[in-house]
Amino acid sequence: MNKKFYQLTAEERLEALGLDESIKAFYACNQSKDSEQLIENYVTDYRLPEGILRNLQVDGQVYQVPMVTEEPSVIAAANNGASITNLGSAFITTQVGEPVLGGQILFDHVDYEELNRFVVDHVDDIFQAAKEAKPSMVSRGDGLEAVQLEDLTDHRAVLNLTVKTGKAMGANAMNTILEAVKMLFSSYEKNIVGAILTNAGHDAVVSVETKLPVAAVGGLEAAKKISALSTFGQVSPDRAVTENKGIFNGLAAVVLATGNDYRAVEAAGHAYASRDGKYRSLSKWMVDETAETLVGKIEMPLNIGVLGGAIAALPTAKKNLELLGNPTVEELKSVMLATGLANNLAALKAVSGRGIQAGHMKMQARTLAVQAGASGADIQTVANRLIKSPRIDQKTAEDILGAIENDTQN
């Protein structure tokens, strides 16, 4: 009997795709057994660059932070932002989110009062079902913490569950608990539309702050410009989207490097950014009343873990956590937010100052050199000449490479 594609080994899948030998060989030499267990229809590992944010100081500890990103300027910006904050207070956690995850059982066409009576009568059963679904969590002191029915009007209601997740993000545990609790509502089977975790992270809001002398960003006028630009992130949603993108440049790079779910983190961040009905930046920067200090603050929910999920199957994520000194979940959340705020500071300083292109294009030059076909030592040579040329684009990179190749041949 013919096997289905998902039943094949990674090598067999490459055969089944009928690929060209060179593509097949490329995919085959980038395969790993760990990744093969992680996803369906696996064929190869897709590699992304990882770099280090040096000496990020958070709550008195110094971290060497692994960042995974494809964008050339991100790690340079993070290092720039962090080194500036090291001239002041560095980063301080001002709000530590709870290690909790929310879950929802969604009911349609119900009478809220009647359903609420059912919930009240079965609270103990709900806790018991949750405990039986994940006994190991309960023995660690984690597990279901709260149950509350919410009236959404129009005969819709949501049973909100809050689960203490400990060191793990807890997505799988939450869904297991929800499906067990759902069974208790068999008399409402037709009304249950779904039971799934929520990535909103209402109770998991974390906040990090930094205070630095205005001299660290070039003086009072420069600091005022950073603050003025930050205000646009509060009043212009279009600006806020770009500012938050810059924050996630750093934040998501650490989320990815530590084997966490960057889609969940970003979705929660964007929802939080529009919590009052208008989409705003997740950070705020202002010059304080002394006119000597620039204060920056970031606040958003973070549901992440240092254990479980994909971390166990991603050897580099485990090593990256070791590099960070095996932080607690709380410490890792602060490191992630601090990195986001460091990137944000570098971006605001550049955008309100000389613009981002100068620094950006320096980083971009190497990418353009590679795209033009340069390899080995030629990459840096092409990049160096490109930076000095009037135009920094691929055509110019190709011309420079052509000239270098000509010189070598002659």
* Residues forming the site for ligand MEV (CB under 6 A): 71, 242-243, 245-246, 249, 347-348, 351, 356
Nearest distance, CB of residue 393 and ligand MEV, angstroms? 18
Nearest distance, CB of residue 76 and ligand MEV, angstroms? 11
Nearest distance, CB of residue 390 and ligand MEV, angstroms? 24
CB burial of residue 375 (10 Å; 0-12, 13-18, 19+): exposed
- Which token pair is 279? 């989409």
Gap between the Cα atoms of 397 and 369, Å rounded:
6
> Which element (helix H / strand E) includes 253?
helix 237-257
Closer to ligand MEV at the Cβ: 335 or 345? 345
Nearest distance, CB of residue 301 and ligand MEV, angstroms? 21
Closer to ligand MEV at the Cβ: 50 or 71? 71
Nearest distance, CB of residue 242 and ligand MEV, angstroms? 5
User: Which of the following is catalytic: 36, 71, 145, 203?
Assistant: 71
Describe the chain by its helix, strand, coil percentages, rounded to 5: 50, 20, 30
Closer to ligand MEV at the Cβ: 178 or 351? 351
Give yes or no: 261 in active site: yes
Nearest distance, CB of residue 230 and ligand MEV, angstroms? 9
The residues, any chain, with a CB within 8 Å of residue 64's CB and separated by 6 or more, are: 52, 53, 54, 55, 56, 323, 324
Closest CA to 352 of 240, 244, 217, 211: 217
Gap between the Cα atoms of 295 and 82, Å rounded:
14
Gap between the Cα atoms of 93 and 272, Å rounded:
18
Closer to ligand MEV at the Cβ: 198 or 244? 244
Give yes or no: 109 in active site: no
Nearest residue to ligand MEV, by Cβ distance, number only: 246
Gap between the Cα atoms of 158 and 154, Å rounded:
12
Compute CA distances 329 → 6, 62, 100, 209, 324, whole Å: 35, 16, 11, 18, 12
Closer to ligand MEV at the Cβ: 307 or 356? 356
Token pair 């089944």: residue: 16
165 and 102 Cβ atoms separated by less than 8 Å: no
Closer to ligand MEV at the Cβ: 72 or 170? 72
User: Which of the following is catalytic: 3, 245, 278, 395?
Assistant: 245
Nearest distance, CB of residue 386 and ligand MEV, angstroms? 20
User: Which of the following is catalytic: 202, 224, 360, 362?
Assistant: 360
Residue 42 phi, psi dihedral angles, 5° rounding: -60, 135
Residue 131 phi, psi dihedral angles, 5° rounding: -65, -45
61 and 334 Cβ atoms separated by less than 8 Å: no
Give yes or no: 398 in active site: no
Provide the 10 A C-beta neighbour count for residue 36.
16
Closer to ligand MEV at the Cβ: 19 or 363? 363
User: Which of the following is catalytic: 243, 261, 299, 331?
Assistant: 261
> Would you please indicate which residues are annotated as catalytic (active-site) residues?
71, 245, 261, 360
